[in-house]
Amino acid sequence: MSVLLLFIDGIGLGENSRNNPFTDEQLETFHELSAGDGFYNYFKPVTDEDLRFMAVDANLDMEGLPQSGTGQASLFSGSNASRLAGRHFGPYPHSKTRKLLETGSLFHQVMEEGFTPHFINAYPEQFFRQLEKRRRWTCTTLMAVSSGQRLNGIDDLREGRALTACLTQESWSRVSGSDVDVITEEAAAERMVRAGERYDLVLYEYFLTDKAGHSQSEKQSRKVLRQLNRFIRHTLKTKRREDHLVICSDHGNLEDLSVKTHTRNPVPLIVQGPVDQQIEADSIMDLPDVIMQLLLEQSGRSVTDEPAVSLLDNRTDP
């Protein structure tokens, strides 16, 4: 039993309009995950036996547009990183919020309960060379390495153990000397599912949605969403019934191509899989609690009263 966590950067719940690529009729799996209502801001929360679909806040009681650095730090720690930083900040972790990811992240929390996390994304040699010159971690890579994870590289891709940011390895196949074949979204999904047979929590980060939103390109936006649609559909088809697929985001963007910036729209939090107890979430900070609830339920244990990183909880004013 495992939790497959799909983090999709920059998708919110916006208007049902021509500026929203979620109106694409080919996104049948996205529509099924919302019980037919679609990824729009008028949706009704879904509480079916094997499906939870919630709209959660990404603004974190702060003015301005949410950003990835503080949004992801909040999402992956359960604490209000924007309030710690004094503003929304991104795309990299703020100096005042790095500790949330270095010592109290989601990965740390699940490890403290005896579970095994795994970050399945792979990175090219250029990424590691740049790290040697400038130690500039993203939120996900900082969380992974701080919890003892080894970041995947090209050998992991060749042996089918990792996923690229573009899912199909298409961008890597064009790099001279990479010797990486293009794969289908279905093959990528099967890698995710296989990883779930070895680890309790598997995280995959997909950021091309945020990039497409900033481009304001309808063509590019529909391309990445259709790619994700195929990936999610096959993940649901091949995962074990007792496994959970969790889908989340850090802020809105792609759902409104009329603007080039992020949005203040709510973001989706989806849980697909058998759930015995009620799941509640109001903001992106609730993701770690949801993940821990699922893992503990799967293992037959009860949710503890005290959070694993209570000293790092910054939900009230510092």
Dump pLDDT digits (tens) for 61-117: 999 999 999 999 999 999 999 999 999 999 999 999 999 999 999 999 999 999 999
Confidence bin at 302 (pLDDT 50/70/90)? low
pLDDT of residue 127: 86
pLDDT of residue 286 exceeding 70, the answer is: yes
Burial 170-183 (b: 16+ CB within 10 A, else e): ebbeeeeebebeeb
pLDDT of residue 312: 37
Confidence bin at 176 (pLDDT 50/70/90)? low
Provide the residue type at 54 as one letter.
M
Determine the Cα angle at 227 with ends 33 and 273, to 5°: 30
- What is the domain extent for residue 150? 3-312
pTM, to two decimals: 0.93
Q: What is the rounded distance in angstroms from the CA atom of residue 294 to the CA atom of residue 248?
A: 15
CATH number at residue 263: 3.40.720.10
- Say which residue, 171 or 249, is predicted with more confidence: 249
Judged by phi (left if over 0) then psi (alpha if -120 to 50, else beta), residue 104 lies in: alpha
Whether 152 and 187 have beta carbons less than 8 Å apart is answered as no
pLDDT of residue 301: 75
Mean local confidence (pLDDT), 4-30? 97
Please count the structural domains in the chain: 1
pLDDT of residue 133 exceeding 80, the answer is: no
Mean local confidence (pLDDT), 229-233? 98
pLDDT of residue 186 exceeding 70, the answer is: yes
In a domain, 318, yes or no: no
In a domain, 317, yes or no: no
pLDDT of residue 283 exceeding 50, the answer is: yes
pLDDT of residue 141 exceeding 90, the answer is: yes
Whether 200 and 194 have beta carbons less than 8 Å apart is answered as no
Q: What is the rounded distance in angstroms from the CA atom of residue 266 to the CA atom of residue 55?
A: 6
pLDDT of residue 314 exceeding 60, the answer is: no
Confidence bin at 307 (pLDDT 50/70/90)? very low
Q: What is the rounded distance in angstroms from the CA atom of residue 198 to the CA atom of residue 162?
A: 13
pLDDT of residue 177: 62
What is the overall mean pLDDT for the chain? 92
Burial level of 198, CB count in 10 A (0-12/13-18/19+)?
exposed
